Structures are given as structure tokens and as C-alpha cells.
Homo-oligomer: A and B are copies of this chain.
Amino acid sequence: MEVGFIGIGAMGVGMVRNLRKAGHKVMIWNRTAASLTELAAEGAEVASSAAACARNEVVISMLADDAAVEEVMLTPAFMDALGPQTIHVSMATISAALAERMTVEHLARGRTYVSAPVFGRPPAAAAAQLFVVAAGDPAALARCEPLFQAMGQRTFIVGDRPSAANVLKISGNFMLAAMMETLGEAFALTRKHGIEPAQFLDVLTSTIFPAPVYKIYGGLIAADNYEPAGFKLRLGLKDVRLAQEAADAAMVPMPLAGLLHDRYMTAIVKGYGDFDWAGIARLSAEAAGLPPQR
């Protein structure tokens, strides 16, 4: 298929490579040109504008946040460029509210918008091991499935309202943030009682919590080592806010989300915004009077 791809960051690079590997023709665009060089050298076509990408069969966007989506795509230039058969697939973690607005804006022009955010970090993107959570018009999703298969290991369809996929993705990230706060408090408690972090982690991940996320993030916390970040702490705050906004819109009290909001904001003010988001655990260690481990 002919695919436009907007947003070439740590995730996008791997996704584009896997699309091309699967035989798709990909036209790329990014707000800053620097990140395009590598893929261009590999043969990807560089578009002159986001709007140019919109003229393909499918245009995929993988931008950083709501503001970027609004700036790049909620413009007449982009919206008018979308072809009558073009499907716009937003794969970034954006707000449910923006997904709904995008749905309406596309519908109003007779165009098709689907949400398909992913679980997985850059290495998973590179290895075509992402999990794709997709929602939108069934026919459109069926047309996109070969693309999802090229980028991910499995696709989950969560209905025909695009924003449902965003809510699900946001909820998953809320759960990860909660897991990290939980780990942070538990490590502080055990460390202050004289238990080695590595040993605590070993017991946890060998018994009740064998999931890779506990191993990965628990490992960062046990080592008290949050740089370089796989996913930056300041983006963790962004994602907690997305959960709170979705909760606010639907009147769902989430006291734990409120707690996470304060913790992530406190960490950022302390200067930990560029830590991996597991660095939230540093707050618990510090509050307990534990020295940095390294």
C-alpha cells in the first residue's frame, strides 16, 4: 500500500522500516527534518509537507502529543488534502477528547479517522513487536490490518468509536504509572528495613509479579538508575493527565490518578523530568531518607 507517515521519532523510525520491509511504499514527514535523513538514505520518500502525506491510501501519524496533532493536522491544508478514500490512522498516545474531535472533523469532510495507539517501547517498534489497539470503522480497520501486522505482533479491535482505543491505551499507561509508584514505595519500605533491592526484585518477579514490566522498571528502581530514559518522566505526567481528563469528562473519580499527578509533578519540579518515568521511585526513597544508591 501507499502510506504517508507523519512523525519520525524513536518509535516512528522502526515502524516505517517495518512497513517498508513488508513491501509498503512509505512517504515520510517530520516537523524537524534531521530525523528524516536516515530513512531517506534507506529509500523512503520525503514529503514536502504533512499535507503531501495525506494524499496516500493511508496516512499514519505518530506525533508527540495533542498540541503537535493540532498544529500539524487540524489545519485546512492537511484536512483538505485527505483523499476521499484516504484513511487517517493516529497511532500516538493522544487524548480521548482530541480523538473525538478528529473523528468529527474527518466525518464532516467525508473522511475516515481511526485511532490505533500502541503498547511497546522503541525496541519493540524496531522489532515489529508492538501491540496495536485499534478502534474505528470496521472496513477501514480491515484495510489497515496488513499495516498493523507489519508493525506489531498483535492487533486488538475495541469497537467502532476511535476514542475507545485512546481510552484503553491511556488506562494502560495509568496502570504502568501506578505500578511504578507502587514499586517505589515498596522498595523504600524494604530497603529501609535492610533488604537488598536486587533481592526484593528477584523475589517479586520470581513469584507474584513475573511480568516483564515489573522486571524492566523494577530493575531500574533496584539499580536507582534512570538515565537514559526509555520513556521520559515528563511524558508520564502527560499520560496521567490524559487519564484524569478522560476521567473528568466521564465523571469517574480516580484517587490514585490524583496521587500520581502530584508525584510526577513533584519529580519534574525536582529536576527529574528527563529521567525514565520509573524515576518516580526516587521520591519515595528520598522521603524515607534513603541516600542515592550510586
Taking beta carbons and an 8 Å cutoff, which residues of A are in contact with B? 96, 119, 131, 133, 154, 156, 158-159, 161, 163-164, 167-168, 171-172, 174-176, 178-179, 181-183, 185-186, 188-190, 192-195, 199-200, 202-204, 206-214, 241, 243, 246-248, 250-259, 261-263, 265-266, 268-270, 284, 287-289
Contacts and interface: CB of A to CB of B under 8 A. Distances in A.
Contacts of A243: 189
A182 B182 CA distance: 10
A207 B172 contact: yes
A186 B195 contact: no
A247 B262 CA distance: 10
Contact of A189 (B195, B213, B252, B269): B252
B256 A199 contact: no
Nearest to A211: B211
A254 B172 contact: no
Contacts of A252: 185, 188-189, 192, 265, 284, 287-288
Given A167-B189, A211-B209, A284-B254, A175 B195 contact: no
A248 B268 CA distance: 12
B287 A185 contact: no
B208 A176 contact: yes
A264 to B, nearest CB: 9
A230 to B, nearest CB: 13
Given A167-B193, A203-B133, A288 B175 contact: no
Contact of A287 (B164, B168, B253, B257): B253
A269 B288 CA distance: 6
Given A131-B208, A175-B182, A241-B248, 18 more contacts: A96-B193, A131-B203, A156-B202, A156-B203, A164-B193, A167-B193, A168-B190, A185-B255, A210-B211, A251-B268, A252-B284, A252-B288, A253-B269, A255-B258, A256-B256, A258-B261, A258-B262, A265-B287
Nearest to A205: B211
A189 B262 contact: no
Contact of A288 (B119, B167, B179, B250): B250
Given A158-B203, A255-B262, A256-B259, A189 B211 contact: no
11 contacts: A156-B199, A158-B199, A159-B194, A164-B195, A167-B190, A168-B190, A182-B182, A189-B243, A253-B265, A255-B255, A256-B259
